[in-house]
Amino acid sequence: MGQKSVTDGRLTKLQKKVLDHLLDKYEQSKTYAGENKVNQHFSCAPAEIYPEYESNYESVDKIHRFEDEMKLLSQQGYLDISWKRESICKLTLTADIARIDEIYQKLGRFSKSDVVRKQKQFFSSHIGLCETADLFCREQLDRLGEGKKIRYPLSDAGIILKLLSRITDNREGILERELSIEVLGDSKIFEKSFRTRVCRILDQYGTWDRAVSQDLSGREREIAILEEYGVYANPSYIYMKGHGSITFSDGTCYALAPDIPVAFSSESISRISCFEIRNHDLMTVENLTSFNRIRRENTFFLYLSGYHNTAKQRLLMKIAEDNTKGDKSLCFYHFGDIDPDGFLILEHLKRETGIDFKPYRMGIPQLDQYAEYTRPLEKNDVTKAENMLGAGIYPDEMRYMLEHGRKLEQEIISWIER
């Protein structure tokens, strides 16, 4: 049986395994790269391929069958066998280049140089797809030039490049599952297999304001990145209540009232031509529960549904522009959790909009007053608080939280004070 495996062109499982193993060693060597000045040999012990070979409990027939298979490879000139006391102690790949080429053919395996050549051709041919894809492709070409592996298999890289092109060219709102169906023909493949990898590339090379997601991690960061390109996990809405009116570019006008909360899609807010607020203050609220509960005289409330991406920042800037002209004035507040993330969101709002948002009910008095409802700081909370304290950002609040190891969710305040 072993003789037929070679003479009829077929290799056994163990024969394939040993030849693949020795070729791997060969391809990782300086000899393969053409940099070695002395002859190298590429060998392995039989136990690396067939662990039971050195076992006292393996059947003699199986041991002899393995040895016969190795002998046949030796007879074909593919490897040399070293013996010790009638047992194989070492298997060495032939130094004959012609025989090595024949091994590649028998295994149906491309040489490393052929694989690299194919990869270079692939990434070179995809330059020009879009700016982000170009940067990703050039990174892979640089890696190949340095002898490194590409970040993803070619089969996956091709899909990733299609997704990058579609996402960066997107000009209207689209849901993640719609994107997945359009590009991949399945509503769930993007989420399961490609979302995280695509977001890493967009995060690294995308042409957008990275400050949007710098304080986020994990799924929240991916949501923020994709929303910058108009790709949403679910329809995203901005909730509001207060005295005012909104006029859209088509002339449609909506009157707003404090006791009738309304919501507009994130996609539609770009079409607002005038946003008039007839309250003295505007307050953004971090959590929807608190938005539904909170009441405050002469205040217009906005729940922005998630992190404040560029579209939402533009809305706030539009509101500021439309309501601070002439004798009109509007004071801006933010109501969020009394924890490091809550203050980071507030700082992000101020930094990216240029609006001087003031914290509302987010201080040490609330941490004291509602001490029984506070929760312990987690490890990442401590790290963020220490960094903010070191940077002089809300030092009193950060110092207090670190000293007491506690934080407070805003829902407690809006519920008790309703």
Q: Token pair 């309304």 is at which residue?
A: 262
Position 250 scores a pLDDT of 93
Residues 223 and 244 occupy one common structural domain:
no
Domain total of the chain: 3
Residues 249 and 394 occupy one common structural domain:
yes
Position 5 scores a pLDDT of 46
Query: Coil, strand, or helix at residue 76?
Result: coil
Q: Say how far apart CA 258 and CA 265 lie, in whole Å.
A: 19
- Judge residue 315's burial from the number of C-beta atoms within 10 Å of its C-beta, 0-12 exposed, 13-18 middle, 19 or more buried: buried
Residues 363 and 312 occupy one common structural domain:
yes
The encoded tokens of residue 409 equal 């969710």
CA dihedral 6, 9, 10, 14 (to 10 degrees): 40
Could you tell me if residue 125 is left (phi over 0), alpha (psi between -120 and 50 degrees) or otherwise beta? alpha
Position 411 scores a pLDDT of 93
Give Cα separations from 205 to 94, 136, 139 (angstroms): 45, 7, 10
Residues 26 and 161 occupy one common structural domain:
no
285 near 305, Cβ under 8 Å? Answer: no
Q: Determine the Cα angle at 390 with ends 386 and 394, to 5°.
A: 80
Q: Which of 199, 232, 265 is the last residue of a domain?
A: 232
Print the domain residue range for 241: 237-416
Q: Say how far apart CA 399 and CA 401 lie, in whole Å.
A: 6
Write the CATH number for 26: 1.10.10
Residues 393 and 356 occupy one common structural domain:
yes
Nearest to 237 by CA among 176, 295, 312, 168: 312
CA dihedral 369, 374, 380, 386 (to 10 degrees): 20
* Residue 305 DSSP symbol: S
Q: Which of 182, 200, 232 is the last residue of a domain?
A: 232
Residues 275 and 378 occupy one common structural domain:
yes
- Residue 282 φ/ψ, nearest 5 degrees: -120, 135
Residues 364 and 329 occupy one common structural domain:
yes
Residues 137 and 258 occupy one common structural domain:
no
- Amino acid present at 14: L
pLDDT per residue as tens, the chain (418 positions):
444 444 456 899 999 999 999 988 888 887 666 566 667 889 999 999 999 998 889 999 999 999 999 999 999 999 999 999 889 999 999 988 888 888 888 888 877 788 888 999 999 999 999 999 999 999 999 999 988 889 999 999 999 999 999 999 988 878 999 999 999 999 999 999 999 999 999 999 986 655 555 556 788 888 888 988 889 888 778 999 999 999 999 999 999 999 999 999 877 888 999 999 999 999 999 999 999 999 999 999 999 865 667 778 889 999 999 998 777 889 999 999 999 989 988 998 898 899 999 999 999 999 999 999 999 999 989 999 999 999 999 999 999 999 999 999 999 999 988 7
Q: Which of 62, 91, 109 is the last residue of a domain?
A: 109
Q: Say how far apart CA 131 and CA 187 lie, in whole Å.
A: 26
DSSP states along 329-387: --EEEEE--BSHHHHHHHHHHHHHH----EESS-SHHHHHHTGGG-EEPPHHHHHHHHH
70 near 88, Cβ under 8 Å? Answer: yes
Residues 86 and 130 occupy one common structural domain:
no
Write the CATH number for 349: 3.40.1360.10
Q: Token pair 């309501």 is at which residue?
A: 323
Residues 71 and 142 occupy one common structural domain:
no
Residues 227 and 96 occupy one common structural domain:
no
Q: What is the pLDDT of residues 223-262, one digit of tens each?
A: 888 988 889 888 778 999 999 999 999 999 999 999 999 9
Residues 66 and 138 occupy one common structural domain:
no
